Amino acid sequence: MASKKLRRARLSQELCERLSRHQIITCQDFLCLSLLELMKVTGQSYYDVQKLLCKVSRACAPKMQTAYEIKLKKSVNPSSAFLPTTLHSLDKVLHGGVPCGSLTEITSPPGCGKTQFCIMVSVLATLPVSMGGLDGAVIYIDTESAFSAERLIEIAGNRFPTYFDSDEKLFCMTRSIHLYRELTCDSVLKRIMSLEEEIISKKVKLVIIDSVASVVRKEFDTQLQGNLAERSNFLARGASVLKYLAEEFSIPVILTNQITTSLSNGLSIQADLVSPADDLSLSEGASGSGRKESVCVTAALGNTWSHSVNTRLILQYHDLPTRQLLVAKSPVAPFSIFFYTIDKSGLVLQDGKDQTNLTLEGTNPALQTIRVRNTPWKDTSGDAVLPSTTGETPSSTSHLQKGKQNLHQEMNE
């Protein structure tokens, strides 16, 4: 709440402009100054500055709400509670769709459809409320240069052919999606910090960052002293501002994440560095001494980040062309598994696929293992995520040894 802009604290326009010349933009900037410093920059008396402090403090202090008030607000205006994904079985489990007012993370290996999902929900957010949309604009922060305007139009036209029945409607939809390409941590954080006024001026109803892990993992080598603390600070600041924006404006915020391969001794290997040929060896892992090493693929960015997101959806491989969607963490939904494919209209659930023999058992979302290659589904919880093998090959041994020697440790706290 302290990141709220002073313009929204009901200070005069003249005072806000004067403060901005001294780089005092947010409530936090204002409240961090001493009374003497505030008297100097505002040109006001001690008494007037005290009144300003009280006014700004009240503006950014969290408002107390009863559970009844929260429930009543959502029942009166259901469209402000969820953004339906049009994946009906998933929406049913999530009590309506992607929740507004909180952070939702999409995690998967490369090629499972994270960006496809983000593009699809971008279209949905622009739809009228009568069609299950939010009738607003979208801010899409692309850190991997993966966004495709052509794919956006293709999904819109194939998913809602009756509504998008003319080029004019398609162009109107594309003008509602504001794309920013930010390739560094600093630029991403600056963009996040500037979102408040854009959300108001552009009537934004959805914020997407695809992806958070991309810039973090490029810039922070956690083997270097101090990098863990810097990375933690960046993630904490970003998550705090995004949570404030989600709650303040009752909008969904969707973030995508990457995967990492964790070893039983606490080391971790970035899973995008793992060769597909080594996937089988990673399920049990052979150490140089012949001892079995417990290895699994999990969401990146560590345990602390996993506590920052409210909902975590995992996309993983199953068999060609089917993939799986897991509800790994949610305040309202149980651990659930869905099968889906990707076509011209985006993600499509395979509701008829047999799930009678699947063991739906959740675990710590930060440690939820993820399947990284196409293998047949086995009806046991132990085989639910990664293929296994009993053979120990020289290639698997050397790979794990090299991984433990050269690759860094993911932050747990």
User: How far is the C-alpha of 215 from the C-alpha of 169, rounded, in Å?
Assistant: 34
Residue 10 backbone class (left: φ over 0; alpha: ψ -120 to 50; beta: rest): left
Does the pLDDT at position 253 exceed 60?
Answer: yes
Q: Tell me the two tokens of residue 354.
A: 């047999």
* Beta pairing partners, 322: 319
What band does 1 get if pLDDT is binned at 50, 70 and 90? low
What band does 320 get if pLDDT is binned at 50, 70 and 90? confident
Per-residue pLDDT averaged across 304-328, rounded?
A: 91
Q: For residue 70, how many C-alpha atoms fall within 13 Å in the half-sphere facing its CB?
A: 9
User: How far is the C-alpha of 163 from the C-alpha of 166, rounded, in Å?
Assistant: 8
Does the pLDDT at position 132 exceed 50?
Answer: yes
What band does 376 get if pLDDT is binned at 50, 70 and 90? very low
Select the more confidently predicted residue: 224 or 245.
245
Which position has the token pair 């007037």?
48
User: How far is the C-alpha of 156 from the C-alpha of 144, rounded, in Å?
Assistant: 22
**Digit-coded pLDDT (tens) for 258-279:** 988 876 555 555 544 433 333 3
Contacts of 376 (CB under 8 A, 6+ apart): 319
**What is the pLDDT, as a whole number, of residue 363?**
54
Does the pLDDT at position 166 exceed 90?
Answer: yes
**What is the pLDDT, as a whole number, of residue 355?**
56
- The overall longest dimension of the chain from CA atoms, in Å, is 78
**Digit-coded pLDDT (tens) for 347-367:** 999 977 655 445 455 555 655
What band does 340 get if pLDDT is binned at 50, 70 and 90? very high
What band does 410 get if pLDDT is binned at 50, 70 and 90? very low
Mean pLDDT score of the chain: 80
- Residues 309 and 299: beta-carbon distance below 8 Å: no
User: How far is the C-alpha of 216 from the C-alpha of 234, rounded, in Å?
Assistant: 9
Dihedral, 369, 184, 7, 64 alpha carbons, nearest 10? 20
Contacts 24+ apart (CB under 8 A), 35-44: 42/15, 42/18, 43/18
Q: Which helix (H) or strand (E) holds 262?
A: strand 259-263
What band does 413 get if pLDDT is binned at 50, 70 and 90? very low
Cis status of the peptide bond prior to 321, with omega within 30 of 0: yes
**Digit-coded pLDDT (tens) for 143-164:** 999 999 999 999 999 999 999 9
User: How far is the C-alpha of 15 from the C-alpha of 52, rounded, in Å?
Assistant: 11
Give the predicted TM-score (pTM) of the model: 0.75
Does the pLDDT at position 373 exceed 80?
Answer: no
- Residues 292 and 285: beta-carbon distance below 8 Å: yes
User: How far is the C-alpha of 369 from the C-alpha of 267, rounded, in Å?
Assistant: 15
**What is the pLDDT, as a whole number, of residue 218?**
86
- Residues 336 and 126: beta-carbon distance below 8 Å: no
What band does 202 get if pLDDT is binned at 50, 70 and 90? very high
Select the more confidently predicted residue: 325 or 400.
325
Grouping H, G, I as helix, E, B as strand and the rest as coil, residue 27 is: helix
Q: Which of 20-29, 167-176, 371-380 has the highest mean pLDDT?
A: 167-176
Contacts of 118 (CB under 8 A, 6+ apart): 106, 140, 208, 210, 254, 256
Does the pLDDT at position 14 exceed 70?
Answer: yes
